[in-house]
Chains A and B, each alone.
Chain A
Amino acid sequence: MSAHEHHGHHIASVKMLWSVGIGLTILTVLTVTVAKLGLPSPFDILSALAIALFKAYLVAAYFMALKWDNRFNAVLLIGAVAFFLLMVGVTLLDTMYRIEVVPSF
């Protein structure tokens, strides 16, 4: 607790911010290129999501400064994503196993 510096007031360096910005731009070009390759079915979505997740990590860790921030703020972000995944996962348990996709009325 006392070891880590005064939380919330970490000042980012210009070099670091620009590197992250350029990195994000390169990743954007990369994801478009990969999409144009036309990978077979699950891999196209997986590669797009993997790149998006890595971009999201860069934004959260460096731009939003979670790397230097109070640990609890990162817990909140991860918790929110976890509950979103829970919502999707459990709903899919229903929608993917229905006898009829949308019940007719």
Chain B
Amino acid sequence: MAITEAKKMTTLQVKRFKPSENPTNNYLTDEKGVWAWMTTVDHKKIGIMYLVAVAFFFALAGFLAIALRTELWTPAKTFIEADTYNQLFTLHGAMMVFFVLVPSIPAALGNFILPMQLGAKDVAFPRLNLASLYIYVAGAIFTFAALASGGFDTGWTFYTPYSSDGNGAGVIWVTLGVFILGFSSILTGTNFITTIHKLRAPGITWDRLPLNIWALYATSIIQVLATPVLAITILLLAFENIMDIGIFDPALGGDPVLFQHFFWFYSHPAVYIMIVPGFGIISEVISTFSKKTVFGYWAIALSSLAIAFIGFLVWGHHMFTSGQSAVATTVFSFLTFLVGIPTGIKIFNWIATLYKGSIDMKTPMLYVFIFLFLFSIGGFTGIMLGALSVDIHLHDTYYVVAHFHYVMMGGTLMALLAGLHYWWPKMTGKMYNETLAKISAVLIFIGFNMTFLPQFVMGSQGMPRRYYNYIDQFTPFHQTSTIGSYILGVAFLIILYYLVKSLFGGEKASSNPWNSRGLEWQSTSPPDFHNFDHTPVVINGPYDYHKPMEEFQLGLAVSHNGHDAEHTSTEVEKTEEKA
């Protein structure tokens, strides 16, 4: 550690220091062995374990998707039975949503990065963080138990009466699984909100919060407000199955549409749980690889919160054809258009950030461009689906399937890949193979569009979703889509190959390979067990690319304990001006 300059401060004495390269001690060498990993409370290790779990379920659910696409190669039966087909698409949807998309960015990448971007040693409640991982595993076990006890074919939305009519044990198990899984999401959200409020290092005022943190903050708020409603809904559904309580089951006098209200009160905000953290990653990556201060900091930060809020007002657009009253339908349709505004604000600000930047087309940036392209298509088609009369035609067709995949896979997953490549050197201390990474990114782009673009066409021509058979005229579309899904499969295998290979014998990463100004890059790669050598005092903003790199060293508080980030920072600021 080299102390380059020391400053005399009014109340807070700050030295500057630089992290060492090639640390001998880091979080990976600190505690070794399976038991140490299983009982660790280190947010970094928990993040890595989440990443592995999410990757496992992604592979499993992705494999199911390829099986489904293969079945759809011919209009009639190709190789699996209709009942199996129903179970497979249900499982694909449920796993991708609850086991992959919801925890992917917050619990895997967020867990690793959030405390580092805040200059904290850990999240506020490390043991609850570990508990959330085990709860996730318990939820997975219940879901597998559901498969063992006859499976479930309700679609991932568990609509009544499909899910309340003689579906039996499978539905009970999987609903309990989702109920349990909700707690893991709640714990992550609770942890993040508390950490962001209370554990910021001195100098990180709210206006110096990285945009990734703003996005995770908005996400956590949604998780905390929406997930408990899913919990009670799914619990009532389980009781509906166990002892016919009759609140949702029309056969017993209940209202199935009420189930849809409850379910979408969670599940619509839940798609923002999935996409908003992706927005955070995009903001980080786009600024780093344009070497430019992010354009419209507050616009991007507050639009995340705006999305979180408006996201709670639009759930009824999933229910336009459900028998919902005309008043509600009209209001929901109108409110749906409002979501487009904050999302548009983000896109425009990102584009403005790129303008006249010195753009470095590394793999993370490549994924950002793919994101911008695919997510825009997903967003626009979403606006079309939000229009009442158009939705009556397109409801429950492949158009919806394509829209959802453009938003979730083209949006969330591309952002996840951008973030994974961006932070991979920090997480593992190794560089991946850039050439292979770029090839697979291009393959994903091609494969993705081949898979889902034809589905827009089919859908608008009337091909319903979730169907096992189809009429001959759709054959070319389905076959193109199937080939596209194979290309996607190959691309993901390449990613798996070079990432695993980089762990063994990849080139060593320096502490800041992208020359980022973010706080997490001012630690060693991989970071120390406590993230930083000292509790850092943050002197510069996260996107101050107009300042030379030499100024980007951490401050070190000499005489202050570092509590109360807001208070300390003003003092740092004052002395900055003097110096």
Contact = CB atoms under 8 A, between A and B. Distances in A.
A82 to B, nearest CB: 10
Given A87-B265, A102-B250, A103-B257, A93 B323 contact: no
Interface in B242-273: 250, 253-258, 261, 265
Nearest to B226: A83
B210 interface: no
Contacts of A91: 258, 261, 265
A72 interface: yes
B49 interface: no
Contact of B312 (A1, A80, A83): A83
Contact of B225 (A83, A98, A103): A83
Interface string B313-335: 10110010001111110010000
Interface string B282-325: 00000000000000000000000000000011011001000111
A19 to B, nearest CB: 33
Given A1-B567, A72-B197, A102-B255, A90 B316 contact: yes
A12 interface: no
Contact of B325 (A86, A97, A105): A97
Contacts of B331: 90, 93
A94 interface: yes
A95 interface: yes
Contacts, number: 55
Contacts of A98: 323-325
A103 to B, nearest CB: 4
Contacts of B323: 98, 100, 103
Contacts of B261: 91, 94
Contact of A93 (B265, B312, B327): B327
Contacts of A93: 325, 327-328, 331
Contacts of A90: 313, 315-316, 328, 331
Interface string B166-194: 00000000000000000000000000000
Nearest to A96: B325
B250 A105 contact: yes
B383 interface: no
B229 interface: yes
B328 A97 contact: yes
B316 A94 contact: yes
Contacts of B229: 87
A34 B312 CA distance: 37
A97 B265 contact: no
Contacts of A96: 325
A86 B250 contact: no
B431 to A, nearest CB: 42
A93 B315 CA distance: 13
Nearest to A79: B225
Nearest to A101: B255
Contacts of B312: 83, 86
B225 A80 contact: yes
Interface string B140-179: 0000000000000000000001000000000000000000
A77 to B, nearest CB: 13
A86 B312 CA distance: 8
A102 B225 contact: no
Contacts of B255: 95, 102
Nearest to B225: A83
A94 B257 contact: yes
B164 to A, nearest CB: 12
Contacts of A83: 225, 312
Nearest to B326: A97
Interface in A34-81: 72, 79-80
Residue from the set A72, A100, A103, A104 with the largest chain B CB neighbour count within 10 Å: A103
Contact of B328 (A79, A94, A103): A94
A96 B326 CA distance: 11
Residue from the set B161, B250, B315, B325 with the largest chain A CB neighbour count within 10 Å: B325
A25 to B, nearest CB: 31
A95 B258 contact: yes
Contacts of B225: 79-80, 83
Contacts of B328: 90, 93-94, 97
Nearest to A92: B328
Contacts of A1: 566-567
Contacts of B253: 102
12 contacts: A72-B197, A87-B229, A87-B265, A90-B315, A90-B328, A93-B327, A94-B316, A94-B327, A97-B325, A97-B327, A102-B250, A103-B323
The 4 residue pairs across chains A and B that have the minimum distance between CB atoms: A97-B325, A94-B328, A93-B328, A97-B327
Given A90-B315, A94-B257, A102-B250, 15 more contacts: A83-B312, A86-B313, A87-B229, A90-B316, A90-B331, A93-B327, A93-B331, A94-B324, A96-B325, A97-B327, A98-B324, A98-B325, A100-B323, A103-B323, A105-B161
